[in-house]
């Protein structure tokens, strides 16, 4: 069965998490930086994501394109993601090829060039990425709602940044952001797979021994006070389909309420996969809101989203409105169901069922080595790896009283933004 993980912090501050898994001759290597849109200021939104793009543009040792080619040649996969709280880079490779990932990640922590011409070419690529998202009604609605949900916290901004800032940001802004946040003390290196811990640790120490410690970068964002009342947003655009989205302020991942909220989400809109990188899901036809909205033909689809974040973010319910219905009718039905959650205790059977679903999703999302390594770092960002280890146990401790309390505390109209996408229609 799985070996325990080994956690080490080097003198320069780099946190290392290692987990041996010998089920396949593969190793997955993840470098996590504590930087994302949460660390961005007005005028520089989208800068963390842009820096992530620039990290693929080369260093003197590995010029642009070389890395890509080298990893693809070895049959590996690699990618990077920027999110609100973090930016992460991963490589999954045959075990005997992992040296490439180890070396390139150590190299680009320090040596990326941020060539001016590459910066300009990437500006239009990122604007194109944003334009692709703007084609989606739910992106436009979500962006408008996030701005309403937070007055000052950077969670109010989309990770990709505003179009104005994408035109405004300069090469030196990017480079400075990179130098401030890409430091060993601000990073977590997580490796899982087919290796011997002692050997792997020795190799990592060798690679990072000359990376100087740096002052910890600022993370100025602070949780905001509760909303002062319900806010409403309406976005108009092309199409024939109306969408309703409700965003409640939710607990942070390291708050005790997070686990009871996870079960509330499962009861309301169905169980969600634990991992952010796939692993298979479960349908939600027996969830309360599917039965209420879709079975009764108020909506044709409903889903929920609760995310593990450092500061309290949002719990979002999204419904695609039935062509013969109105968003008002759907909102009224959801409100009635939430009132029920706040007043009537949930049966032990319902809780037990939600926990079995969580156990199955946990098994699916632990199936491959890439996902295992993902968890080694991801959980450290907003809490500790123990959060992941104890996840099922903590869900199992949630009581009927906890669920009532959480529903009453968070699912209040005054603590939400209600958004509708109104299609302008066309012939």
Partner 1 sequence: MKPSITANWNSLPGPEDITRVELSNGITVLTRANFNSPSVVMSGYLTSGSQFDRDDKLGLAYFTSTALMRGSQSHSHQEIFEILESAGASLGFSASVHTTSFGSRALAEDLPVLLQILNECLRQPVFPSDQVEKLRAQLMTSLAIRAQDTEEMASLRFDQVVFPDHPYGRPEDGYNETIQNITRQDLADFHRIHYGPKGMVLVIVGAVTAEQTLEQVQRALGDWHNPDQPEPAKMPKATPLQVTFREHLNIPGKSQTDLVMGTLGPKRCSPDFLPASLGNNILGQFGLMGRIGDVVREQAGLAYHASASLNAWIEGGSWEVSAGVNPANLDRAVTLIVSELKRFVTEPVTSEELEDSQSNFIGRLPLSMESNSGVANAILNLERFQLGLDYYRRYPQMVSEVTPPMILEAASQYIDPEKLAIVSAGTESAPAAS
Q: Using CB under 8 A, which residues numbered 226 to 265 contact partner 1? A: 237-241
Applying CB under 8 A, does 103 fall inside the site for partner 1?
A: no
Q: Which of 386, 398, 296, 316 is nearest to 353 (CA)?
A: 398
Q: Which is nearer to partner 1, 24 or 336 (CB)?
A: 24
Applying CB under 8 A, does 87 fall inside the site for partner 1?
A: no
Judged by CB under 8 A, which of 213, 226, 281, 345 binds partner 1? 281
The token pair at 144 is 């408008």
Applying CB under 8 A, does 43 fall inside the site for partner 1?
A: no
Applying CB under 8 A, does 294 fall inside the site for partner 1?
A: yes
Stretch that binds partner 1, among 37-45, 89-97, 170-178, 377-385 (CB under 8 A): 89-97
Residue 315, SS3? Answer: strand
Applying CB under 8 A, does 393 fall inside the site for partner 1?
A: no
Judged by CB under 8 A, which of 201, 300, 329, 422 binds partner 1? 300
Alpha carbons 409 and 21: distance in angstroms, whole number: 41
Alpha carbons 69 and 77: distance in angstroms, whole number: 11
Q: Which is nearer to partner 1, 201 or 276 (CB)?
A: 276
Residues 6+ apart with CB under 8 A from 49: 37, 82, 87, 126, 159, 160, 161
Smallest gap from Cβ 414 to partner 1, in A, equals 32
Stretch that binds partner 1, among 19-27, 40-48, 210-218, 399-407 (CB under 8 A): 19-27
Residue 316, SS3? Answer: strand
Applying CB under 8 A, does 56 fall inside the site for partner 1?
A: yes
Q: Which is nearer to partner 1, 94 or 413 (CB)?
A: 94
Q: How is 371-383 classified by DSSP, letter by letter?
A: HHHHHHHHHHHHS
The C-alpha angle with vertex 290 and arms to 312 and 132, in degrees rounded to 5, equals 60
Applying CB under 8 A, does 368 fall inside the site for partner 1?
A: yes
Q: Which of 186, 136, 170, 137 is nearest to 46 (CA)?
A: 170
Q: Which of 188, 250, 252, 255 is nearest to 221 (CA)?
A: 252
Helix extents (H) in 44-190 = 47-54, 66-73, 99-108, 116-134, 137-149, 163-168, 171-181
Stretch that binds partner 1, among 181-189, 305-313, 317-325, 339-347 (CB under 8 A): 317-325
Residue 385, SS3? Answer: helix
Residues 120-159 that bind partner 1 (CB under 8 A): 120-132, 134-135, 137
Residues 208 and 8 sit within 8 Å (Cβ to Cβ): no
Q: Which is nearer to partner 1, 277 or 389 (CB)?
A: 277
Backbone angles phi, psi at 29, to 5 degrees: -120, 120
Applying CB under 8 A, does 168 fall inside the site for partner 1?
A: no
Q: Which is nearer to partner 1, 88 or 368 (CB)?
A: 368
Q: Which is nearer to partner 1, 224 or 367 (CB)?
A: 367
Q: Which is nearer to partner 1, 319 or 418 (CB)?
A: 319
Stretch that binds partner 1, among 143-151, 316-324, 329-337, 390-398 (CB under 8 A): 316-324
Smallest gap from Cβ 238 to partner 1, in A, equals 4
Smallest gap from Cβ 21 to partner 1, in A, equals 9
Smallest gap from Cβ 333 to partner 1, in A, equals 16
Applying CB under 8 A, does 270 fall inside the site for partner 1?
A: yes
Composition of the chain by helix, strand, coil, percent to 5: 45, 20, 35
Smallest gap from Cβ 18 to partner 1, in A, equals 19
E strand or H helix at 362: helix 348-365
């Amino acid at each position: 069965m799985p070996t325990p993980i080994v956690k080490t912090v080097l003198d320069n501050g780099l946190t290392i998490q290692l987990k041996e898994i010998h089920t396949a001759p593969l190793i997955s290597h993840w470098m996590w930086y504590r930087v994302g849109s949460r660390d961005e200021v007005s005028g520089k939104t989208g800068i963390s994501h842009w820096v992530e793009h620039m990290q693929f543009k080369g260093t003197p040792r590995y010029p642009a394109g070389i890395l890509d080619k080298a990893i693809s040649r070895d049959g590996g996969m690699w990618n990077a993601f920027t999110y609100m709280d973090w930016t992460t880079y991963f490589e999954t490779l045959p075990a005997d090829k992992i040296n490439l990932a180890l070396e390139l990640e150590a190299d680009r922590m320090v040596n990326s060039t941020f060539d001016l011409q590459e910066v300009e070419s990437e500006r239009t690529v990122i604007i194109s990425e944003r334009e692709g998202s703007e084609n989606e009604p739910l992106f436009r609605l979500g962006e408008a709602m996030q701005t309403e949900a937070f007055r000052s916290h950077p969670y109010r901004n989309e990770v990709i940044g505003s179009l104005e800032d994408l035109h405004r940001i300069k090469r030196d802004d990017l480079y400075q952001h990179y130098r401030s946040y890409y430091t060993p003390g601000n990073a977590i290196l997580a490796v899982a797979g087919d290796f011997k811990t002692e050997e792997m640790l020795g190799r990592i120490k060798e690679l990072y021994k000359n990376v100087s410690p740096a002052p910890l970068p600022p993370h100025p964002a602070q949780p905001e006070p509760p909303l002062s009342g319900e806010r409403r947003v309406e976005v108009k655009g092309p199409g024939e389909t109306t969408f309703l989205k409700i965003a409640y302020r939710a607990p942070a991942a390291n708050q005790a309420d997070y686990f009871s909220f996870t079960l509330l989400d499962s009861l309301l809109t169905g169980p969600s996969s634990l991992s952010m990188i796939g692993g298979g899901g479960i349908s939600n036809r027996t969830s309360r809101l599917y039965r209420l909205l879709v079975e009764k033909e108020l909506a044709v689809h409903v889903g929920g989203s609760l995310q593990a974040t450092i500061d309290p973010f949002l719990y979002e319910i999204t419904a695609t409105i039935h062509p013969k219905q109105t968003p008002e009718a759907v909102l009224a039905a959801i409100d009635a169901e939430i009132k029920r959650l706040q007043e009537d205790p949930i049966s032990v059977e319902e809780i037990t069922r939600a926990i079995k679903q969580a156990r199955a999703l946990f098994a699916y999302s632990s199936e491959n080595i890439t996902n295992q390594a993902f968890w080694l770092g991801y959980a450290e960002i907003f809490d500790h790896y123990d959060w992941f280890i104890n996840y099922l146990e903590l869900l199992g401790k949630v009581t009927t009283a906890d669920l009532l309390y959480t529903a009453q505390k968070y699912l209040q109209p005054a603590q939400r933004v209600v958004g509708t996408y109104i299609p302008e229609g066309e012939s």
